[in-house]
Structure 1
């Protein structure tokens, strides 16, 4: 598995986890973000960054962003995003 494939797999998994909280649970804590260390499926040490931001106006859609990157190379990371609407 290449580094990009490994980072992508970790980012996809983390995005799924980040979206397990619904809009209603997240809306009261906006904006919010966190960075923590962990490991990719292939065992690489990486940083996981999660951000929850209003897509536009507060009270509307929430943009969930995840970045997974090597500790010394943020610019080499993989960034994924998804939007959660008020009906979710």
Structure 2
């Protein structure tokens, strides 16, 4: 598995976890972010950054962003994002 593919797979997996809560649950904590150390599927030691940001005005859609990178090479990392749409019930 290539370096970039490994980081992309790790970012995809983390993005799925980051989106397990719905808009209603996340809206109470947005904007928010954290980072932690972990491992990619190929075993590389990396940093995961997770952010929940308003995608426009506060109270609207939430952009979930995940960046995965080696500690010494942030600029070579991979960033993926997904938008959780606000739904009116």
Q: Which residue pairs with 1:10 in the alignment? A: 10
Report how far residue 69 of structure 1 moved.
0.3
Report how far residue 10 of structure 1 moved.
0.2
Report how far residue 87 of structure 1 moved.
2.0
Report how far residue 30 of structure 1 moved.
1.1
User: Secondary structure of the equivalent of 2:58?
Assistant: coil
Q: Which residue pairs with 1:43 in the alignment? A: 43
Runs of 4+ in 1 over 6 A off after TM superposition: none
Q: Normalising by structure 2, what TM-score?
A: 0.96
Alpha-carbon separation, structure 2, partners of 1:87 and 1:34 = 26
Unaligned runs of 5+ residues in structure 2 are none
User: Secondary structure of the equivalent of 1:4?
Assistant: helix
CA deviation profile, 1:14-67 (whole Å, cap 9, x unmatched)? 000000011000101110000000000000000000000000001100000000
* RMSD, matched Cα: 1.1
**Paired residues, what number?**
88
Unaligned runs of 5+ residues in structure 1 are none
Q: Normalising by structure 1, what TM-score?
A: 0.97
